[in-house]
Amino acid sequence: MVGCGVEAAPSPADRLRAATAAIQGLESATYDYTYRGTGSLAGSYAGLVRLAPGAGGGTNYWAQIRPSPWWEADDSTPPTEAPALTLSAGGDRVAARDGATRTFRHGTISGGAGHLVANAGIAVLYQLMDPEPFRSELEGETAFGERRSVNGVLCDVIEGTNASFGGARIEWFIAVEDDLPRGYRFVAADGGAFTFEMANFQPNRAIPPQSLAISSQPDDVVSDEDARPIEVGAEAPDWRLTDTDGDEIRLSALRGRIVVLEVGASWCGACGALSAEYDRVARSALGGPSVRFLALRAWENPDLSPAETARLADTGYPVIPGGERIAMDYKLADVPALFVIDAGGRFALVHNPVSVPPADAARDLEDALRTLVVDR
Q: Is residue 223 part of a domain?
A: no
Instruction: Please give the Cα distance from 159 to 13 (Å, whole number).
Output: 10
Residues 59 and 181 occupy one common structural domain: yes
Q: How confident is the model at residue 1 (pLDDT cuts 50, 70, 90)?
A: very low
* DSSP state at residue 235: B
- In the listed set 185, 212, 239, which residue is the last one of a domain according to the structure? 212
Task: Please compute the mean of the pLDDT values over residues 113-124 and round it to a whole number.
Answer: 96
Task: Please compute the mean of the pLDDT values over residues 329-333 and round it to a whole number.
Answer: 94
Residues 157 and 198 occupy one common structural domain: yes
Task: Please compute the mean of the pLDDT values over residues 295-322 and round it to a whole number.
Answer: 93
- Given this model, what pLDDT does residue 73 score? 79
Q: Is residue 360 part of a domain?
A: yes
Higher pLDDT, 79 or 255: 255
CATH of the domain at 354: 3.40.30.10
Task: Please compute the mean of the pLDDT values over residues 73-81 and round it to a whole number.
Answer: 81
Q: Is residue 265 part of a domain?
A: yes
- Furthest CA-CA distance within the chain: 84
Residues 25 and 120 occupy one common structural domain: yes
Which pTM value belongs to this model? 0.91
Is residue 251 within 8 A of residue 341, CB to CB? The reply is: yes
- Report the mean per-residue pLDDT for the chain: 93
Q: How confident is the model at residue 269 (pLDDT cuts 50, 70, 90)?
A: confident
Residues 199 and 251 occupy one common structural domain: no
Q: How confident is the model at residue 374 (pLDDT cuts 50, 70, 90)?
A: low
> Domain total for the chain?
2
Q: Is residue 342 part of a domain?
A: yes
Q: Is residue 273 part of a domain?
A: yes
Q: Is residue 43 part of a domain?
A: yes
Q: Which of 152, 261, 167, 154 is nearest to 200 (CA)?
A: 152
Is residue 159 within 8 A of residue 151, CB to CB? The reply is: no
Which residue segment(s) compose the domain that 91 sits in? 12-212
* pLDDT tens per residue across span 40-64: 999 999 999 999 987 766 789 999 9
Residues 80 and 121 occupy one common structural domain: yes
CATH of the domain at 57: 2.50.20.10
* pLDDT tens per residue across span 153-205: 999 999 999 887 778 999 999 999 999 999 999 999 889 999 999 999 999 98
Residues 40 and 137 occupy one common structural domain: yes
Instruction: Please give the Cα distance from 315 to 250 (Å, whole number).
Output: 20
Instruction: Please give the Cα distance from 153 to 174 (Å, whole number).
Output: 9
